[in-house]
Structure 1
Amino acid sequence: MGFPSGQFSRVDNISTSCQWRARKKNSQYSTVDTERYSSLVREVLSSKTSSQTPESIEDEDCQLYGPIVRSRPPSQQPKVPKNLHPLLNDAKGQSEYVPGPLARITLKRDSNNTHIPSVTRILQKTMPPDQAFYLERWKRRMIAELGEEGFREYSSNLFRQGKLFHAAIEDTFIQETPSKEDQECPAEVSGYIESVSDVLSDITGVRAIESAVHHSALQYLGIVDCVAQYRGSLCVIDWKTSEKPKPFLRHTYDNPLQVAAYIGALNSDHNYNYQVNITMTPDIECFHDTSSIGHIGGTELSKQ
C-alpha cells in the first residue's frame, strides 16, 4: 500500500526538526576559569565595607520611628506611705485593768462621718489583683455549682453563722459565773465554739466587745470584736470563721492587716483611755478542727 509523496515528505521533515531541537547548546561560560573567577569574587567581597555604623542606624531609626524612650531604672529606695503615722499614741499609757462595764460604743453614721470609710471598705478597694482574681474565680465556681439563688442563700447562711458565733462568744464574756452547763450554744456554731474553747480559758480582763473605733488622724472607722487580756497581754481580738483549717498566718489573707488597722484606730481614739502595745515576741495562734476555725489575733499581728 503506498502513500502520497507529499505526506511522506512532511513526516520526514518533522522527524528531522525534532532531532535538531534536542541538541544541547554550548554555554558561553563553559570556557570560564571557575577557580580564578571564584577567588576574584571572594577578594571583592572581603574588601567590601558597609557604610552603616551603629550610630547611623540609630539615627535612621529615630527619623523613621521617633526617639527611643528609655525606661527609668527601678528605684532602690523603699516606698514610704505619704501619711506616715505611728501606731502607738504617746499621750496614752498602759492603764491597769479595772473591773467594770464593758465598752460597747455603737457606730453611728451622721452628716459628720458619712465620708469616713471603714476598714473593711478600704481593704476591699485596695485588694491585691491576685487576691481579687481568686475571690472572683471562687464566686463564679460557686454560682456555677449552686446557681444565683443558691449562692445568695449560701452567703446568707455564712453571714448568719458568723453572727451566731460572735453572739455565743459574747455570752461567755458577759456571764458573771460562766459554766459549761449554763451555756447554750446553737448547734450550727458548736464546732466553732469547740475550736476556740482552749483560747477562751486564757482570755481575761475583757474591756470592750463589738465596739466602734475611730482613727482621728487617718480618718477611718472600724468595729473591734474584743479587747481583752490574752495570756497577760492586752490584745485586739478579731474572730473569724472558715470552713477550712488555716494553720498558718499566711492563710488568713488580709485579716492581720485588718487587726493592725483596728489597733491603730483604738490607740488614736479618745474614747479609750488605754492603748494596745506592741510586743516583739510573736504569739499568733490559729485553732481549727475538722469543720471550723476560730482565729485570734492581737498586737503581734500589726507587724506582720
Structure 2
Amino acid sequence: MFILKRILCVGGIVAPQSTSLPVSQFSSCHNCLRSSKRRSPYSSVDSERYSSLVKSVMSSKVSSQTPETLQAEDDHIYGPVVRAQTPARAEMMRVPKTLHPFLNCVETFVTDEPESGPPARISLNRGQGRSSVPSVTRILQQTLSPEQVFYLERWKRRMIAELGEEGFKEYNQKLFRQGKLFHSAVEDFLTSGPTWEDRNPSETTEHAPEVQGYMQSISHVLEDVRAVRAIESTVQHDTLNYLGIVDCVARYRGVLCVIDWKTSDKPKPFLSNTYDNPVQVAAYAGALNSDDNYKYQVENGLIVVAYKDGSPAHAHRLNQELMLEYWRTWLLRLEKFTAQRSSHESSAFSGK
C-alpha cells in the first residue's frame, strides 16, 4: 500500500492529507501514463506522392466545367430539380377579373351544320379596322413570365456563343422558312382530296427536301384527320379585341378540333413540353367561337409536334376541360397585356 498526499486547503490554511490507494490501482494508472500516443491515420500517407496533385488543384484558376455540365452532373447525382408549383400551374389557379365565356351559346352547335364544301380561308387584312388589334402571338410574347424570359435569354446566349450573331440570324431564318414550307405542304395535302393512305409514297417527293421528314412524321396523324373546315384562316374576338390565324379546324378521330402544327428538333412527348402552345390553341378557339364568320363552335384542341427525322409526331389532345383551363390562363395573359399597354400609353402621354 502506497501513501499519497494531497493538499487540502481549509480556511486559507494549506494542510497535507494522506489518502490510501491500492497498489494495483496505482500500477494501472502508472501504465496508462507511460503508454505511447495513438498514431494518426494520416502519418502513413505519402505526402510527396500527392503534393503535385494538390498543387495543381489549388493553383488552377480556370475550370473545365461549364454551367451546363455542372447542371447535368448535379441532376445525375441528386436528380432533376422538382419545383413545388410551376408558374404556369400557379397562373392556371388564378381567376380572371372577368371570366368571359369560351363558347358562344347563340351560335348553332357543330352537329347542326353540314360539313361539305371547301374549307374557310379568311385572309388577314390589317386595313379593315384591324391595324390596332393585337395578335395572339404578340400577346403571349409580351406577357412571358420571368422564368420563361430567363430560359429564353439563356438559350439565345448559348446559341449566339455557338453560331455567332450572323449564324444565329441565319438559323432563325432557316427555321422560319422550314415552318412556312411545312405549313404549305400540310395545306396542300389537306385540300388535295385523297387521304394519306391512298396516296402514292413517291408523291411526297413533290415537297421541298426540308419538309419531307416532317410530312412523314405526321403521316399517322393525317390518317385520322377528316372534314376540314378551315385552313390558315383568320379568327377575331371583337369583345376581347384580339385576333389570330388558325392552322386548321378539322375532325380528328371524329372530334372537331382547332389543330396547331408545330415542328421541333427535340422530342416533346408530354403536353407540358409544348409551353404556351395550349394557351395559344385555346385563344384561337375562343376567338373562332365568337367570330360571326364561323357558324359552329369548337370545344377541343390538338397540338401536333412533327420531327425532321421522320420519327412519329406526338399528338397532344386538349379536351373540353383542358381547353377551359387554358382559356382562363389566356384571359389572365390578356389582362396582363392590356394593363401593360395602358401603362405604356399613360407614360407616353405624360412624357409629352
Superposition TM-score, scaled by structure 1 size = 0.68
Question: In 2, are the aligned partners of 1:246 and 1:288 still within 8 Å (CA)?
Answer: no
The separation in 2 between residues aligned to 1:284 and 1:239, in whole angstroms, is: 6
More strand by share: 2
One-letter amino acid of the counterpart of residue 279, structure 2: L
Aligned residue number for residue 220 of structure 1: 242
Distance in 2, Cα, partners of 1:97 & 1:127: 40
The answer to whether the Cα contact below 8 Å between 1:213 and 1:262 also exists between their aligned partners in 2 is yes
Change (3 A) 1:119 1:285: closer
Inter-CA distance 287–168: structure 2 relative to 1 (3 Å threshold):
closer
Which residue of structure 2 aligns with residue 263 of structure 1?
285
SS at match of 2:132: coil
Percent of aligned positions with the same letter in both sequences?
A: 58
- TM-score relative to the length of structure 2: 0.59
* Residues 1:84 and 2:99 aligned together: yes
**Cα contact 1:236–1:259 (8 A) shared by 2:** yes
Secondary structure in 1 aligned to 2:133? coil
CA distance in 2, matches of 1:295, 1:159: 21
Q: Note the residue ranges of structure 1 that are not aligned, 5 or more in a row.
A: 1-32, 34-77
RMSD of aligned alpha carbons: 2.5
The match for 2:253 is 231
Maintained 8 Å contact 2:234/2:243: yes
Q: Is the 8 A contact 1:244 1:291 kept in 2?
A: no
1:242 maps onto 2:264 in alignment: yes
Aligned ranges 1:127-146 → 2 under 5 Å: 127-146=144-163
Aligned length: 226
Letter of the aligned partner of 1:263 in structure 2? A
Q: Is the 8 A contact 2:246 2:258 kept in 1?
A: yes
Alignment of 1:1-304 (within 5 A): 79-92=94-107, 93-94=109-110, 95-110=112-127, 112-177=129-194, 179-180=199-200, 181-183=202-204, 184-278=206-300, 294=313, 296=315, 299-300=318-319, 302=323, 303=325
Task: Name the aligned partner's letter for residue 208 of structure 2.
Answer: P
Instruction: Name the CA distance, whole Å, in 2 between partners of 1:153 and 1:289.
Output: 18
Once the two structures are TM-superposed, the CA of residue 186 in structure 1 deviates from its matched residue by 1.7
SS at match of 1:182: helix
Which shows bigger deviation, 157-166 or 93-102? 93-102
Q: Distance in 1 between matches of 2:169 and 2:160?
A: 9
In 2, are the aligned partners of 1:88 and 1:267 still within 8 Å (CA)? yes
Change (3 A) 1:188 1:287: closer
The CA deviation at 1:176 is: 2.3
> Within 2, Cα distance between the matches of 1:217 and 1:206?
27
Give SS of 2:262's match: coil
Q: Name the CA distance, whole Å, in 1 between partners of 2:241 and 2:190.
A: 30
Query: C-alpha separation between the residues in 2 aligned to 1:295 and 1:108?
Result: 33
Pick the structure with greater CA Rg.
1
Task: Compute the displacement of 1:190 (Å).
Answer: 1.5
Q: Is the 8 A contact 1:202 1:231 kept in 2?
A: yes
The CA distance in 2 between the partners of 1:119 and 1:134, in whole Å, is: 21
Is this contact kept in 1: 2:216–2:310, CA < 8 A? no
